Each structure stands twice: as C-alpha cells, then as structure tokens.
C-alpha cells in the first residue's frame, strides 16, 4: 500500500468515461449519464470479490463508520468498545453518533482481545468496533463468540485491511457490518471514499438511506422519493468511484506485490534474536500492508526507529508516540474537546478519558515498530532496508 503507487492509464480511462459520457452525481440524472454508473459498478465488484450481499459506497472511511453505526442502530447513550490502537476516526464516529467509547485492551495481534472485550462489557454495551489494524485481524472466532454471547453488534473496521481474510472469509464480512476506507493512502484508493459492508438487509437499507438524507432510492425521480429516516450527506462522487473501479481490478496485483515485499523484509529480520513479530491469526490472509515487530524494550524500539531514520529508511512507525493512532497521544479525546457541546457531555457518569489505564496495550505498543510495505519498491529499495537491518541488529 498505498494503491496510488499503481495509478496509470486505467484510472484515467475510468474518470474520462464519467467526464465524456456520464454524470458526477451518484444518483438519478439517468438521461445525462448514458448508463454510466461507477458507484454501482464498484459496489458490484466488491460484492463479487468478498463475497458479501451488500456494499454501499460513501465519501470516506470515517463516513462509512458513522453510517455503519447508525445503520446498525447504535446511538445515544450506547456504549461501544474500541481499541486504543486505531485511527482517531474510530472514536470520533462513536462520539458523534451520541454513543460512548469504552477502551479495551489489545493483545499481540495488535487488535482487541476477546478477554479485553469481555472485561469492558457493561449493561449499556451495544457494540464492539473491532479495528483490523495494519492489514490483518485478531482471534475472530473468539471475538465473535463474545459478541454473540452478549448480543453485541460486531462492527469490523477493515479500513486498513482491504483484501485481508480470516480462514477464507473477508475481513469486514464476519460481523453484522463492516467498513473499508479508500482514501489516498489505503490499499485501494479512490482519492476519497469508503464502503459499508453487510449481509443484513435491514442494515443495508438503513445505510443507503442514512448516507443520502434518508432517501429511499425507489424509482428514478429523486424529487418523488420518500424519506423513511433522517440522514446526512455521505454520498461518494462518481469521479471517486471511477478511480476505485480501476483500483479494485488491481487488488490481486497489489496483494501479490505487498506479500512478496513483506516476506523479503520479514525473512531478513527473522535471523535477529531481539526481533519478534506480531502474531498473525491467519498468515495467509494478511494483506501485508505493514510488517510489525516487537523489540525487547521501549528504549530499544525508539533507538531502532532513530537509526533507521538516520539510514534514510522511510515509512517506519513508532505508534506509541504517534498522535494519529494511539489513545495516549489524543488530548482532545481525553478532554472530549470539540468546537461545540457534544452529546456525551449530557452523560453524567461517562468515563474519565484522561484516567484510562491500559497497561497491556501500553506495554505492547511501546515496543512495536511497523514498516509500511510499498508497492513501488524495486530490488535496490529492498536491499537498502536489508542492509540497514544488518547494521542495526547484527
């Protein structure tokens, strides 16, 4: 990843088709578009590939999360379990839905553990936002069993795991609802875009209505459509969907390159005693967008990151100090600070997010270093990294 590294004439051709024959709005305007429907086309490609009954495109991965929560009936006062290691949008979507994020421990898969979820459940828990970080998931059988036992909605945030599977099943399709992100730095890039995935007809109906001001999308006269529910505007543009059509057709190629490049780095690092690897519950299903390692101590992890930087190696992430992806570094979340009063402000016994203690997660993430696996690497780029590893770890 990211998919933009493989942009070529195919993306241009798809966009040109919209410009020359179609229309940029995703709905209606049938007479102007000459049967060019890129959002529909991409949705069909996604459904066929995964497979899943319904894939509904929206304007971003964050919009997909918000839509998924609303479509699954998660709202005011509902508690949603979420990991501390995620992109901040996972938390923002919950708060803006009027729900309450409850943080739980991750394990050596770098995702929520079944035990962590179980320990965080209260009578108000309605859902688990399970985030498949860095290209793969966790112990999904155990996680789903916990959710089923407590009658919780399992929402899979697969925004960083497009193309990944668990025991042959696509991540994002194991729970009641899942999400993809197609932004500029994801495995598949539309520039901006996302998708809501579900096999549940009710959730799909809610999703396509909620993301378009409640329109029921029955008939071909937008002005005559009914509005069964309230919603908002999370529509994707046909221009973004067109880019996604070309990108989705490259998914196998993307995964093949990522897996080969990751294997080259992992094989080299495996010889060093101080390096251990993130646990993969299904190695064959990993989309290989990242390679994550554990080092013996936080100090050693920071030193390795510094040395890699000095060697000119980019795409190296020390998440424990990263202000986008780890709870410890989100003061605006600790304070629930926003430009306007939030629904969570009305909940008297809400958690104090400045006092959250997740020692297991801290211990793991403070020793974790991740490498972004790029599609554009040639043999020289890989050899440069292997030489740096030899110098640093030998």
Instruction: Give 121-125's long-range contacts (Cβ < 8 A, gap of 24+).
Output: 121/81, 121/146, 121/150, 121/152, 122/79, 124/77, 124/78, 124/79, 124/100, 125/78, 125/79, 125/80, 125/81, 125/150, 125/152
CB atoms within 10 A of CB 49: 15
Of 144, 186, 250, 328, catalytic: 186
User: 79-82 and 125-131: which strand pairing?
Assistant: parallel
Instruction: Give 338-345's long-range contacts (Cβ < 8 A, gap of 24+).
Output: 342/95, 342/96, 343/76, 343/95, 343/98, 344/95, 344/98, 344/100
Residues in the chain: 394
CA 132 – CA 298 distance, rounded (Å) = 23
Transcribe 107-161 into DSSP letters.
Answer: -TTSSB-HHHHHHH--TTEEEEEEE-GGG----HHHHHHHHHHTT-EEEEE-TT-
Structure-block tokens of residue 66: 């918000």
CA-CA-CA-CA torsion sign (66, 72, 73, 79): negative
Which residues face 330 on adjacent strands? none
* Catalytic residue list contains 167: no
> Catalytic amino acids?
186
């Amino acid at each position: 990843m990211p998919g933009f590294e493989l942009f070529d004439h195919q993306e241009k051709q798809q966009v040109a088709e919209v410009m020359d024959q179609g229309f940029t709005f995703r709905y209606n305007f049938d007479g102007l578009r000459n049967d060019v429907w890129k959002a529909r086309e991409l949705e069909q490609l996604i459904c066929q590939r995964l497979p899943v009954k319904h894939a509904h495109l929206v304007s971003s991965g964050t919009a997909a999360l918000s839509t998924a929560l609303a479509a699954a009936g998660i709202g005011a006062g509902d508690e949603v379990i979420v990991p501390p290691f995620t992109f901040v949008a996972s938390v923002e979507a919950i708060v803006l839905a009027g729900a309450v994020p409850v943080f739980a421990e991750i394990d050596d898969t770098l995702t929520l553990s079944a035990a962590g979820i179980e320990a965080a459940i209260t009578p108000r828990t309605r859902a688990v936002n399970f985030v498949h970080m860095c290209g793969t998931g966790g112990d999904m059988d155990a996680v789903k069993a916990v959710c089923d036992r407590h009658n919780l909605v399992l929402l899979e945030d697969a925004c960083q795991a497009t193309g990944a599977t668990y025991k042959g099943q696509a991540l994002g399709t194991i729970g009641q609802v899942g999400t993809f992100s197609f932004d500029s730095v994801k495995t598949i890039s539309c520039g901006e875009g996302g998708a809501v995935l579900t096999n549940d007809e009710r959730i799909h109906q809610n999703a396509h209505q909620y993301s378009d001001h409640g329109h029921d999308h029955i008939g071909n006269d937008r002005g005559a459509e009914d509005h069964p529910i309230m919603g908002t505007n999370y529509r994707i543009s046909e221009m973004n969907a067109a880019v996604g059509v070309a990108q989705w057709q490259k998914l196998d190629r993307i995964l093949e390159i990522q897996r080969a490049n990751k294997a080259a780095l992992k094989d080299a690092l495996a010889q060093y005693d101080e390096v251990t690897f993130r646990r993969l519950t299904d190695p064959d299903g990993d989309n290989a967008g990242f390679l994550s390692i554990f080092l013996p101590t936080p100090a050693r992890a920071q030193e390795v990151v510094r040395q890699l930087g000095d060697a000119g190696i980019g795409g190296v992430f020390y998440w424990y100090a990263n202000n986008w992806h780890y709870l410890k570094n989100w003061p605006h979340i600790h304070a629930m600070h926003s430009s306007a009063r939030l629904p969570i402000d009305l909940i008297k016994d809400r958690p104090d997010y400045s006092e959250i203690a997740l020692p297991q997660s801290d211990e793991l993430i403070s020793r974790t270093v991740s490498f972004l696996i790029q599609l554009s690497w040639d043999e020289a780029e890989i050899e440069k990294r292997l030489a740096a590893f030899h110098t640093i770890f030998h």
